[in-house]
Amino acid sequence: MAKQVISVDGQDRVVREDTAKSYRGVIWALLSIAAFVIIAAIVFFGFLSGSATNGDIQSPAAIERNRQ
C-alpha cells in the first residue's frame, strides 16, 4: 500500500493513502463549513445593519400591506 505524510499537531506522520485522503477530506469539510458560517454571518449582519440604519425595520406583513 502507498504511504503518505500528513501533519498532525505539528508532527509529520506516515499513514496509508486512504487514511491521508480521509484526513484531508475532514479538514476541507470543516473549512467549508466555517467559510459558509462566516459568509452567512456577514450577509445577515450586513442586511441587519442596513435595515437598522434606515430606521425602517418592518415585518414581512407590513411590507405586503405597503405594496397594496
Identify the pLDDT of residue 54. Answer: 62
pLDDT digits (tens, 9 = 90+) for 15-32: 999 999 999 999 999 999
Which cell numbers hold the place of 35? Answer: 467559510
Q: Whole-model pTM above 0.85?
A: no
Quick check: 33 and 25 in contact, CB under 8 A? no
Quick check: 21 and 3 in contact, CB under 8 A? no
